[in-house]
């Protein structure tokens, strides 16, 4: 079992606690079969074949026919104003037979105003950036310059989440997440 930390770096302006709106968030990853290196197609949550376990994402490689899975082990964790401009872990996943290649935040995120504590529940990062205005504090707010990396977790006691995200979504588009994928790297 290989635990991978999904880490992001972003510039937060006048907001903190950037995180999914709820635990039923759809995570968007582009993955590669660790056996034959073929990129996967879009999949939904499925039951692992031949067993009782479930995973947030299970795929069967269309080339080598091997099965791989991704399961959320810990998180999501909020990305705070203190983290702004630095890499921080937002999720830990158990990857078996898959390598994470890209992460696309897309929609379904929230942030909290640093001055007013106003809640922004409609943060859509489909364009890899988000801008708004905090009327209570009379300041602009934003999440921008998002980068992602995948790092093998050094945590010893990673426990599986009891409440899991709704599913993980994999995009088969070659251009999907090209901005997020530019800085994505797998460190072993």
- What is the per-residue pLDDT for 176? 40
Residue-wise pLDDT for 14-61, tens only, equals: 999 999 998 888 888 888 999 999 886 654 333 344 555 678 888 888
The answer, as to whether pTM is greater than 0.85, is no
- What is the per-residue pLDDT for 102? 87
CA 187 to chain centre: 16
> Can you tell me the distance from the alpha carbon of 97 to that of 19, in angstroms, rounded to the nearest whole number?
27
Question: Which tokens is 167 given?
Answer: 């599913």
Residue-wise pLDDT for 71-115, tens only, equals: 999 999 999 999 999 999 999 999 999 999 888 888 999 999 999
Flag whether pLDDT at 167 surpasses 70: no
The answer to whether 125 and 27 have CB atoms below 8 angstroms apart is no
Highest mean pLDDT among 50-54, 79-83, 121-125, 152-156: 79-83
The length of the chain in residues reads 188
Prior bond of 23 cis (ω within 30°): no
């Amino acid at each position: 079992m290989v635990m991978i930390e999904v880490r992001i770096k972003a510039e937060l302006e006048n907001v903190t606690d950037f995180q999914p709106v709820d635990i039923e968030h759809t995570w968007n990853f582009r993955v590669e079969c660790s056996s034959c290196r073929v990129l996967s197609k879009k999949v939904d949550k499925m039951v692992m074949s031949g067993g009782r376990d479930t995973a947030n994402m299970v795929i069967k490689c269309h080339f080598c026919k091997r099965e791989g899975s991704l399961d959320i082990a810990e998180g999501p964790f909020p990305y705070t104003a203190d983290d702004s401009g630095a890499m921080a872990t937002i999720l830990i996943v158990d990857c078996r037979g898959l390598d994470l290649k890209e992460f696309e935040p897309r929609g379904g995120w929230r942030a909290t105003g640093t001055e007013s504590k106003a809640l922004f529940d409609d943060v859509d990062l489909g364009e890899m950036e988000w801008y708004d205005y905090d009327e209570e504090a009379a300041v602009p707010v934003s999440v921008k310059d998002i980068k992602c990396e995948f790092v093998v977790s050094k945590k010893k006691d990673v426990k599986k989440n009891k409440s899991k995200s709704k599913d993980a979504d994999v995009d088969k588009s070659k251009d999907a997440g090209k901005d997020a994928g530019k800085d994505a790297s797998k460190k072993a």
